[in-house]
């Protein structure tokens, strides 16, 4: 029925996946905080209750109809955001549908939701990486970008990406040659002025770059990891000495945090010898805390866990920056050695 590869990835899809993921988390957290601070009001009366899961299905339905009905990329951005809002609104009521008494407040629910989002994040990252992109996929994505020239919204950035995709697809096929000719003849418009949300994201990125360019920022980050390691050691000793009767989630949280703490200590030990290796150990520690420790933290106390998760995400951003800078230094050193 299908010839060749039936599944062609959208290489521009990472933006839409990010829109979906961020919107889903934002909507779920907004609902949780709103219900918490307003005393969990109900929509309806007289025996009726309109669960917000229904609103989630409504938003996801709109997103699907938009994707089925329109081709321009602006609509895809809207659909990805609406779909994320719908999914976050839907998944928030998971507790009602995994318990016999429809218990929204079922304690493990937020931990299960957290695991779902972690798995979703890993799956989204894997879509763009595995398996390696085939030449056919590069060619079809170049065609997809080039079609924007017909509806007059092919900007210069997209033109550059289309040319890059064609280069990776090769120049052999007649389709590729035709697309090269079309891109030469079509004058790309200037990159349009970004909307409010995009401008806000860019401002946040500029703030991030200013912070990361501060000379002592990595010293602060390393010191934060030192405090984290010290806290884990003291907390472990306190628990073992004073609270030997912990439940399963508390023990699991302690073990995961201690395991992550070992990598922090390893990073501190090798810091003088190799900053790159040290930062890699720190990154492993952060990932262990995000993907394992926080699961049990959310089981115990979702609001306290949100604070911890935010800290780990910020640490991960700065560690990724530190790793990138150290790799640049290594590459520059190797280049100087060969020249």
The two tokens of residue 151 are: 């509806």
Q: Is 189 exposed, middle or buried (0-12, 13-18, 19+ CB in 10 A)?
A: middle
- Average pLDDT, stretch 28-39? 79
Residue 22 sits in the same domain as residue 150 = no
- Average pLDDT, stretch 234-251? 73
Residue 227 sits in the same domain as residue 268 = yes
CB 107 within 8 A of CB 250: no
Residue 180 sits in the same domain as residue 287 = no
**Mean pLDDT in the chain?**
76
Residue 208 sits in the same domain as residue 320 = yes
Whether 193 maps to a domain, the answer reads no
Residue 113 sits in the same domain as residue 205 = no
Domain boundary pick from 83, 107, 127: 127
What's the DSSP call for residue 12? T
Q: For residue 45, is pLDDT > 80?
A: no
Residue 271 sits in the same domain as residue 326 = yes
Whether 1 maps to a domain, the answer reads no
Residue 189, strand partner residues: 155
Q: What is the reported pLDDT for 163?
A: 76
Q: In the chain, how many domains are there?
A: 3
In 71-148, DSSP assigns E strands to none
* 134 membership: H or E segment, kind and range: none
- This prediction has a pTM of 0.64
Residue 203 sits in the same domain as residue 332 = yes
More confidently predicted of 277 and 146: 277
Per the structure, the complete domain to which residue 65 belongs is given by: 13-127
Residue 216 sits in the same domain as residue 169 = no
Q: What is the reported pLDDT for 65?
A: 94
pLDDT digits (tens, 9 = 90+) for 136-181: 777 777 777 777 666 655 666 677 777 777 777 776 677 776 776 6
* Interatomic CA distance for residues 29 and 85, integer angstroms: 11
What's the DSSP call for residue 299? H
Q: What is the reported pLDDT for 327?
A: 77
Residue 203 sits in the same domain as residue 331 = yes
Helix (H, G, I), strand (E, B) or coil at 189: strand
Whether 2 maps to a domain, the answer reads no
- Average pLDDT, stretch 123-148? 76
CB 142 within 8 A of CB 165: yes
Whether 204 maps to a domain, the answer reads yes
Whether 66 maps to a domain, the answer reads yes
CB 226 within 8 A of CB 278: no
Q: Is 240 exposed, middle or buried (0-12, 13-18, 19+ CB in 10 A)?
A: exposed
pLDDT digits (tens, 9 = 90+) for 204-226: 666 666 665 666 777 777 787 77
* 327 membership: H or E segment, kind and range: helix 302-338
More confidently predicted of 326 and 171: 326
């Amino acid at each position: 029925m299908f010839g060749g590869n039936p599944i062609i990835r959208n290489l521009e899809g990472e933006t839409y996946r990010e829109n979906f993921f961020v919107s889903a988390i934002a909507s779920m957290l907004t609902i949780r905080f709103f219900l918490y601070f307003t005393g969990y009001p109900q929509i309806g009366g007289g025996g009726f209750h309109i669960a917000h899961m229904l609103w989630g299905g409504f938003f996801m339905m709109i997103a699907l109809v938009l994707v089925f009905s329109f081709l321009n990329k602006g609509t895809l951005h809207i659909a990805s955001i609406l779909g994320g809002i719908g999914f976050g609104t839907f998944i928030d009521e998971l507790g009602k549908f995994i318990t016999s008494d429809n218990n929204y407040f079922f304690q493990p629910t937020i931990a299960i939701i957290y695991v779902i989002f972690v798995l979703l994040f890993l799956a989204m990252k894997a879509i763009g990486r595995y398996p390696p992109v085939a030449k056919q996929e590069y060619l079809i994505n170049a065609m997809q970008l080039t079609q924007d020239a017909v509806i007059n919204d092919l900007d210069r950035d997209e033109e550059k990406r289309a040319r890059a995709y064609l280069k990776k697809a090769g120049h052999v096929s007649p389709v590729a040659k035709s697309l090269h000719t079309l891109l030469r003849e079509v004058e790309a418009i200037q990159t349009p002025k970004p909307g409010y949300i995009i401008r806000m994201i860019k401002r946040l990125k500029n703030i991030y770059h200013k912070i990361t360019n501060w000379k002592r920022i990595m010293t602060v980050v390393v010191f934060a990891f030192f405090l984290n390691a010290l806290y884990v050691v003291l907390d472990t000793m306190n628990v073992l000495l004073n609270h030997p009767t912990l439940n399963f989630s508390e023990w699991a949280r302690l073990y995961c945090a201690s395991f992550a703490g070992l990598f922090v200590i390893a990073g501190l030990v090798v810091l003088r010898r190799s900053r790159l290796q040290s930062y890699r150990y720190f990154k492993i520690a952060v990932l262990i805390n995000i993907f394992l420790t926080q699961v049990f933290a959310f089981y115990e106390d979702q609001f306290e866990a949100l604070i911890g998760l935010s800290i780990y995400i910020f640490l991960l951003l700065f560690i990724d920056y530190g790793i990138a800078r150290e790799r640049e230094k290594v590459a520059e050193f190797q280049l100087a050695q060969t020249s």
